[in-house]
Amino acid sequence: MERQRNISEFVLLGLSYDQNVQIFCFVLFLFSYVALLAGNLLILVSIRCSPLFHQPMYYFLIHLSSMDICYTSTVTPKLIADLLGGTKTISYGDCMLQVFAMHFFGSIEVFILTVMAFDRYAAICKPLHYMLTMNRTRCHLLVLAAWAGGVLHSLPQLMMTIQLPFCGPNELDHYFCDIFPLLKVACTDTYITGVLVVANSGMVALVTFVVLFVSYVIILFSLRHHSAEGRHKALSTCGSHITVVILFFGPSIFAYLRPPTTFPEDKVFALFYTIIAPMFNPLIYTLRNTEMKNAMRRVWCQTLFSKAAHS
């Protein structure tokens, strides 16, 4: 492996060479990252300290928020630091780690979104059997399956990447290490590797999106038989999920389900699934969810009240 690799680091070209654009992006992404951390931590604490934790949907939402934090943290802190620095470099080892972590946490998030769609299907279409179908043991197994799916998806990606020989240019036209930019600077024919990446990442994104789309069509179709109040509540919950799915999967499918090449637009689309969608998840799941808002109000009001009482 060492014979095939004559470089020890990569240079990330980033989002723009313009200093003013870099300062604007620094402020924007720093705010986005802080908002993402605060929002997802708020969801984690609010659910964990309320009875909602025992409901399957919110149990999965805790895991989704955790994945949002882990997934975005593999890219955003480095991006923010690079926007203030001069030369944007990343070591070979850190680059390979970033490739693995991005695909690992990203695929777990995809599978948890799929599990949440199954949960909504069971709740709306099979309400009498819901608690039996989505018992806590099954919830644990579904989350474990999502993690196992993350390993099965990301390990082949990493193995394909570390076998690439790098002996010439080391500039990646991106703001993080991803497989397509790495294929572009590898000093070998990468056509087969590119096809395998599309078959892996592209098909994971497409198949899960189709499964999610079909499941929500079935759910919306079954709502015809519900009362107006039941339809409103179900549509509110499903609407949140559908919004997250569109924000995450649209750019992901564009990025990976296509011939293995790079486009200037890749960096813009990558911002959607690495920063923007995870940042909006807390807003989408809280502002449109009455149970979540009530739980947050109770938890944080009790916390403030107890602090005031002690003081």
Q: Measure Cα distances from 264 to 122, 169, 174, 259 in Å.
A: 42, 18, 9, 15
Let me know: does 64 contact 112? Beta carbons within 8 Å: yes
Q: What is the CATH number of the domain that holds 53?
A: 1.20.1070.10
Residue 1 has pLDDT above 50, yes or no: no
Instruction: Report the alpha-carbon distance of residue 216 to residue 239 in Å, rounded.
Output: 9
Output the pTM of the full model.
Answer: 0.85
Lowest mean pLDDT, pick from 22-31, 122-131, 181-190, 237-246: 237-246
Question: Domain count of the chain?
Answer: 1
Specify if 310 maps to a domain.
no
Q: Output 217 or 153, whichever has higher pLDDT.
A: 153
Query: Cα(147)–Cα(107) distance, rounded to whole angstroms?
Result: 8
Q: What range does the domain containing 34 cover?
A: 9-281
In a domain, 220, yes or no: yes
3-state secondary structure of 9: strand
Helix (H) or strand (E) holding 202: none
In a domain, 311, yes or no: no
Helix H or strand E encompassing 125: helix 92-125
**Is residue 2 domain-resident?**
no
Give a yes or no: residue 197 inside a domain: yes
The closest of 213, 48, 56 to 119, measured between CA atoms, is: 56
For residue 290, being part of any structural domain is answered with no
Are 103 and 157 within 8 A, CB to CB?
Answer: yes
Give the residue, 70 or 52, on which the prediction is more confident.
70
* Statement: residue 171 has pLDDT above 80: yes
Q: Note whether residue 232 is domain-resident.
A: yes
What whole-number distance in Å separates Cα of residue 256 and Cα of residue 8?
A: 27
Cα–Cα distance, 76 to 32 (Å, whole number): 9
Instruction: Provide φ and ψ at 46, rounded to 5°.
Output: -65, -45
Give me the mean pLDDT over the 139-151 stretch: 94
